[in-house]
């Protein structure tokens, strides 16, 4: 909202969010926690549940021991709140954030009967959305769902 005050050409009725790794968690969390503001999100290689990620990393920010706050911050346990359009991108061989984190979200979304898109990029690791194909698919997703037009393609 602050940026829209500075840049009046921004349309607050069409806001999207994207991110990778912890930013992937945050992009999906934006759709879950602020569904009226964020309508479209792309989450790349998200660590969607901090109980599954590198525990030393999460302990630095969330503390020890693992308590109820870990579950409350899980994108897996909150999928019932999804209202916007979501694209999940994951590299098949991500060695930084286990692709199982994204697959657990996929499973939870299916169980909650939520619509979403999934792009698995074979042979790629962490940050698969940064590939040429991943960047195009991400941009096309925003064009399709925020501008309401079909992208021109590759």
Residue-wise pLDDT for 108-149, tens only, equals 999 999 999 999 999 999 999 999 999 999 999 999 999 999
pLDDT attached to residue 72: 83
**Residue 141, class by beta-carbon neighbours within 10 Å (0-12 exposed, 13-18 middle, 19+ buried)?**
buried
Q: What is the pLDDT of residue 126?
A: 96
Q: What is the pLDDT at residue 110?
A: 98
CA torsion 84-89-94-97 (nearest 10°) is -10
pLDDT at 135: 97
Find out whether 47 and 97 touch, Cβ atoms under 8 Å.
yes
**pLDDT value for 65:** 82
Separation between Cα atoms, residue 50 and residue 31, nearest integer Å: 18
SS3 state of residue 36:
coil
pLDDT value of position 101:
93
At 152 the pLDDT is 83
pLDDT tens per residue across span 26-81 = 999 999 999 999 999 999 999 998 777 776 777 877 778 877 877 888 899 999 99
H-state helical runs in the chain: 2-6, 22-33, 55-62, 68-72, 100-111, 132-142
DSSP type of residue 145: I
3-class secondary structure, 76 = coil
The reported pLDDT for the residue numbered 54 is 73
pLDDT at 61: 76
List b or e across 55-79, with b for residues whose CB sees 16 or more CB atoms inside 10 angstroms.
eeebeeeeeeeeeeebeebbbbebb
Once rounded to an integer, what is the mean pLDDT over residues 77-95? 96
pLDDT given for residue 12 in this prediction = 92
pLDDT at position 68 is 82
């Amino acid at each position: 909202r602050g940026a829209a005050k500075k840049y009046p050409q921004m349309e607050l009725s069409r806001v999207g969010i994207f991110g990778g790794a912890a930013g992937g968690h945050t992009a999906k969390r934006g759709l879950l926690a602020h569904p009226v503001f964020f309508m479209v999100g792309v989450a790349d290689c998200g660590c969607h549940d901090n109980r599954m990620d590198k525990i030393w990393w999460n302990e630095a920010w969330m503390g020890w021991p693992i308590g109820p706050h870990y579950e409350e911050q899980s994108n897996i346990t909150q999928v019932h709140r999804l209202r916007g359009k979501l694209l999940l991108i994951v590299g098949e061989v991500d060695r930084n954030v286990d692709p199982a984190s994204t697959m657990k979200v996929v499973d939870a979304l299916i169980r909650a009967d939520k619509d979403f898109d999934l792009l698995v990029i074979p042979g790629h690791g962490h940050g698969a959305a940064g590939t040429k194909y991943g960047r195009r698919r991400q941009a096309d997703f925003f064009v399709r769902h925020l501008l309401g037009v079909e992208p021109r393609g590759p």
